[in-house]
Structure 1
């Protein structure tokens, strides 16, 4: 359309020029012009109008086109900006996630590095048949490295095996209520861990730390998270037990080894009775290559209020005894009959960390001065065994009972002797023992 109007403008211009020329010739010849001058002027005006319209239309079209192009350019620019912003946004979100992931990965890497360093020391100590730097089968590592607690809440626990089917890390979010409910008596029977030896002789272990000698079973069914902390829940899986030497379980003075870690948590509860705070408690057995018995464990303990934050390494060895950590075989000279009284005195406040025994039974922390009798006597009725007249069964928490299901887990002695040793009659029973 603009082209056609422009054409008419040029045509009018030619007409105006022609009329103007004719008007000029007639004017010179003094002839009648018949209004050619006026018509030429009109044609000239019309020509300018048409040419102006055509040019303006083209200009408007170009402007509209330019505007469209500009709009398209702006749209592309906006789209690019939006895409870039979206790209930055989508990048920034993973950046937050990746910020958390590297932090978690770094923590796990630090924990793995620490565990490997501790394992190296444990191998050295166990090869040397040593009780370690404290001479009580444990040493402190520093602050806790708790991991894997993301989905665990108060009262939850998790026991797992490793890729070889051995007991792996045991985790629990402990509460004061569990501790309070567990006091006074054992809450279950120890389960047989993977790698439990086919033989478990009674031996004599002389402790440099105390200058005394233990007479009893070499191996214990050792809790990763003890009865005194987790109660009946601690007996729900064999993965919460490892094959541990007696000193690994309770140390040289009944307050070392794994017992030291337990007492650390118990002391927190005693100092904070009825608290709503919790404790993340994690025990990681450490194995050397494909051995079935751990060289020791690391216990990480961290309270939710930050008051308690520690890691403890526990050594699974026995002074003067060489142990094969694949089979449990050892060079200890078995004792055929345990003496009536051991040459060491133990604390009456020891807890209920699971221990050893024959068959499926197990002994806890040994708290009396008498070793477990090899032949417990009593009257058996169904699953229950009643102590002879005047005698009682003393638990490792220094409580005594008249009826028990597993006599091998207790020390049979006269009631007067039990009281003289500091034991008291249990005020309540459980599924394994009755007052």
Structure 2
């Protein structure tokens, strides 16, 4: 009797233990299922987060693109107004500062690399480069090449007189320059590798009213940074975007974005392609300017080859032993001393950057005139020379 009762109790214990075991197994299974659900939820949340992040970046990029496009359109409208009114702009020097740089397209460019583009009409468009100090250093002292004719370079480039309200001086020379988007002094020989790095720019668009405005102001912004940081490993993102009205072939101006990798420079500059007192047809390049005749008769028969504007070159003058002044007075003729051509008494060689010299190796690259006339035109004596010119 006792044995049977114990057996019954044992059986009850076995059933209880079995039920407990089943309960534990069910708890484990439930826990595993719960863990699986949590993991799946986490994965879904991660995927959703990534998708949300990509969407956010796209929205930011789209917003930035439209904001920049809207800004550029606003600047273009102002440039159209200024050029239609033959204005030098708010500074009187053919440029003004817009604000911080709004550049783009540098993700695939490394230090020392560059990219010049054209638009759907074949006009020069955005020019970009990641500039380095070594490029600037290697290009100092002399030009690194001959300017290339930009798309739709005008067939006629008259010599004109341009009076600058800012300085009260009058420039005498070519109306148009083959204007660099990224200058020789910044990019060296690379700046001559494509016609799309050049636009048809008026003389003041290129150097302003005082040789430090227009595109020169933008270039000097970068040059001054290099001068103040010699040997630096920092780089400069430099971008120029010419702006056109409709299908016109000559830009109304350009926007130059300049940003250094250390943050010292972060600026956007508008450059106006205009001329005070001269109305320009931006589709053909024709103008109402009155051409100057017999300004440089000693070079006149070579005018078609020397009308670079940005750098008047004609290597056929290299081997001449004597060149005469406009009035053909013997006392004003040049003489040769080895490789150097020496200006006559009271005469100077004026460079495309409006600096004048007494001795040069390539006289065909300069305007030859009296020193007094050079000063009246706004030129100044060069402070130092190089292997091609001496003050």
For residues 297-326 of structure 1, what are the alpha-carbon distances to aligned partners after superposition, in whole Å with 9 as ceiling and x for unaligned? 111112222222222111011112222222
Q: Using a 3 Å threshold, how does the CA distance of structure 1 residues 379 and 102 change in structure 2: closer, same or farther? A: closer
Matches within 5 A, 1:194-205: 194-205=151-162
Identify unmatched segments of 5+ residues in structure 1: 1-40, 341-356, 366-371
For the residue of structure 2 that corresponds to 1:204, the secondary structure is strand
Counterpart of 2:208 (choices 251, 266, 269) is: 251
Q: 1:110 Cα deviation (Å)?
A: 2.9
Question: Does the CA-based 8 Å contact 1:129-1:318 persist in structure 2?
Answer: yes
Q: Using a 3 Å threshold, how does the CA distance of structure 1 residues 358 and 95 change in structure 2: closer, same or farther? A: farther
Aligned residue in 1 for 2:361: 402
Q: Using a 3 Å threshold, how does the CA distance of structure 1 residues 279 and 332 change in structure 2: closer, same or farther? A: same
Q: Using a 3 Å threshold, how does the CA distance of structure 1 residues 414 and 121 change in structure 2: closer, same or farther? A: closer
Matches within 5 A, 1:4-19: none
Question: Does the CA-based 8 Å contact 2:142-2:386 persist in structure 1?
Answer: no
For residues 98-141 of structure 1, what are the alpha-carbon distances to aligned partners after superposition, in whole Å with 9 as ceiling and x for unaligned? 55444444433332222121111101111111111111111111
Q: Using a 3 Å threshold, how does the CA distance of structure 1 residues 207 and 104 change in structure 2: closer, same or farther? A: same
Are 2:308 and 1:362 equivalent residues in the alignment? Answer: yes
Matches within 5 A, 1:136-285: 136-285=93-242
Question: Does the CA-based 8 Å contact 2:177-2:308 persist in structure 1?
Answer: yes
For the residue of structure 1 that corresponds to 2:103, the secondary structure is coil
Are 2:249 and 1:292 equivalent residues in the alignment? Answer: yes
Q: Using a 3 Å threshold, how does the CA distance of structure 1 residues 56 and 218 change in structure 2: closer, same or farther? A: same
Aligned residue in 1 for 2:32: 75
Q: 1:147 Cα deviation (Å)?
A: 1.9
Question: Does the CA-based 8 Å contact 1:190-1:360 persist in structure 2?
Answer: no
Q: Using a 3 Å threshold, how does the CA distance of structure 1 residues 73 and 254 change in structure 2: closer, same or farther? A: same
Are 2:372 and 1:428 equivalent residues in the alignment? Answer: no
Supply the distance in 1 between the matched residues of 2:316 and 2:234 (Cα, whole angstroms).
46
Aligned residue in 1 for 2:269: 312
Question: Does the CA-based 8 Å contact 1:394-1:423 persist in structure 2?
Answer: no
For residues 67-109 of structure 1, what are the alpha-carbon distances to aligned partners after superposition, in whole Å with 9 as ceiling and x for unaligned? 5554444333222211111112223334455554444444333
Question: Does the CA-based 8 Å contact 2:296-2:368 persist in structure 1?
Answer: no
Supply the distance in 2 between the matched residues of 1:116 and 1:330 (Cα, whole angstroms).
25
For the residue of structure 2 that corresponds to 1:428, the secondary structure is coil
Supply the distance in 2 between the matched residues of 1:299 and 1:421 (Cα, whole angstroms).
27
Q: 1:336 Cα deviation (Å)?
A: 2.8
For the residue of structure 2 that corresponds to 1:277, the secondary structure is coil
Q: Using a 3 Å threshold, how does the CA distance of structure 1 residues 97 and 142 change in structure 2: closer, same or farther? A: same
Supply the distance in 1 between the matched residues of 2:209 and 2:386 (Cα, whole angstroms).
30
What is the count of residue pairs matched by the alignment?
Answer: 357
Q: 1:401 Cα deviation (Å)?
A: 3.0
Question: Does the CA-based 8 Å contact 2:174-2:309 persist in structure 1?
Answer: no
Aligned residue in 2 for 1:111: 68
For the residue of structure 1 that corresponds to 2:97, the secondary structure is strand
Counterpart of 2:89 (choices 90, 109, 132) is: 132
For residues 313-346 of structure 1, what are the alpha-carbon distances to aligned partners after superposition, in whole Å with 9 as ceiling and x for unaligned? 1101111222222222222222333279xxxxxx
Q: 1:254 Cα deviation (Å)?
A: 1.7
Q: 1:47 Cα deviation (Å)?
A: 10
Question: Does the CA-based 8 Å contact 1:190-1:361 persist in structure 2?
Answer: no
Question: Does the CA-based 8 Å contact 2:174-2:307 persist in structure 1?
Answer: no
Supply the distance in 1 between the matched residues of 2:17 and 2:193 (Cα, whole angstroms).
87
Q: 1:225 Cα deviation (Å)?
A: 0.8
Q: 1:149 Cα deviation (Å)?
A: 1.9
Identify unmatched segments of 5+ residues in structure 2: 298-302, 323-333, 336-340, 343-348
